[in-house]
A and B are shown apart, each in its own frame.
Chain A
């Protein structure tokens, strides 16, 4: 059964529409042919490895790569999963706050597939790394480009999911991000205060 599904290449549609048509991506997710939920976690798993590779190509002595890549890979993947689950939950809560129906499973799937264009970060950055043309600048530049791409896929996915316009889905996307940003900022401040107190004790 799994082999037949694999052979049919229907699973490739998710990756294809993540790049070309995010609204169609959501429609395919809803059709569940094949079930995209488990499959979608391959994306953050591979993205974690690509992150390590890009950082290593930057010349950073990434302990994850240099010493125990397997541990680093798993750690980054777990961290990504944590972010995805927390963020998806917040998006779901926000959508419900605005009166839309919640569906955390579908949101997680959309978030996962939204990360797919990030795979292209490696080859694109690799090119600039090989020719040694401002790799630091292009690392920052492409980080922003791929984040915007990810956001566009996700916002369109949410828009299609709740049958709302782009503006409203943008608000649903941005509010949890702002909330997380504020929470992390406050945690950062608290950690500094606690850390200084702990060290000086």
Chain B
């Protein structure tokens, strides 16, 4: 009996040894994988750089839903708030991939970034495919702007538009019944021609927003307004031209922007980079939500509402 007990203890010891070997084996495999194709997400600590992404058309609120990817100006500002309160964040890379968006949403983000800049947090803008109009507006609040050669940027200006369907309505005999409290209440109506007074009113609003745009860019870029105006006629340009026009500081990649942020914040090259990541559940259910909502990779651009005044590059 005693012998059998000893045998079972030996078996248990052997199992423990195999478990230890398996732990080491799996650990080594993880290390090997992390050096090649799979990046291990290990907890990071200490002073570092935060990354915040501004993607797509800028609007005040992002898509709604329990698993929707948080976005929109409100989310960006909330995230910047968290960054502001985190003493470990010494620099921020604002990754922009946006053609711009509504005036108010863009200005809110600009003001928030500017507030962080005044608190001596280093901000580096990294431009992706497009950082035009409102996208550029936001970038201009940063201390330093990095763009790729092929980045589409510029498009400094303000736009609003609406289709005039009067002749189409006439053709089909459609008439709109409009009861309004004031003569401008149906401004930008699609069912009639715009009056000269309405045009003048809207133009004034556009000009004011444009002047604010120029003023803010000049402030952010530390340039004279007069130096910006020649290229602020709505033209788009690639990164190289933007560099010539001093709208950006450097040509480079996202990685270069991270390195620049570390350099400006006097951080080590291996300082941690903090970025919000979706949980696997959010990714799975977010995709499902899009599928059930009929969004299968086609953006909301098809349903673009023209009744907005925007800092936006119209593609």
Contacts and interface: CB of A to CB of B under 8 A. Distances in A.
A57 B19 contact: no
A119 B17 CA distance: 12
A57 B18 contact: no
Q: Is the interface of B mostly helix, strand, loop or mixed?
A: helix
Interface string B18-36: 1100110110001000000
Interface stretch (B3-11, B95-103, B148-156, B238-246): B3-11
Given A15-B12, A49-B19, A53-B22, A199 B5 contact: no
A9 B5 CA distance: 6
Nearest to B22: A53
Contacts of B4: 16
B8 A122 contact: no
B9 A199 contact: no
A142 interface: no
Interface string B274-308: 00000010000100110011000000000000000
B38 A61 contact: yes
B292 A200 contact: yes
A167 B298 CA distance: 60
Contacts of A57: 22, 25-26
* Contact-residue bracket for chain A: 20 to 34
Nearest to B2: A9
Contacts of A9: 2, 5-6, 9
Contact of B8 (A15, A50, A123, A196): A15
Contacts of B38: 61
Given A49-B19, A61-B38, A199 B285 contact: yes
A16 B10 CA distance: 11
Interface string A114-151: 00000110110010000000000000000000000000
B266 interface: no
Nearest to A68: B43
B233 to A, nearest CB: 46
A49 B25 CA distance: 15
A200 B65 CA distance: 9
B75 interface: no
A13 interface: yes
Contact of A126 (B6, B22, B66, B280): B22
B26 A53 contact: yes
CB-CB nearest 4 A-B residue pairs: A9-B5, A12-B5, A200-B292, A16-B8
Given A123-B15, A199-B289, 12 more contacts: A9-B2, A9-B5, A9-B6, A10-B5, A16-B5, A16-B7, A50-B19, A56-B26, A57-B25, A123-B18, A199-B285, A200-B292
Interface of B: 2, 4-9, 11-12, 14-15, 18-19, 22-23, 25-26, 30, 38, 40-42, 65-67, 280, 285, 288-289, 292-293
14 contacts: A9-B6, A10-B5, A12-B12, A13-B5, A16-B8, A49-B19, A53-B26, A61-B38, A122-B15, A122-B18, A122-B19, A199-B65, A199-B288, A200-B293
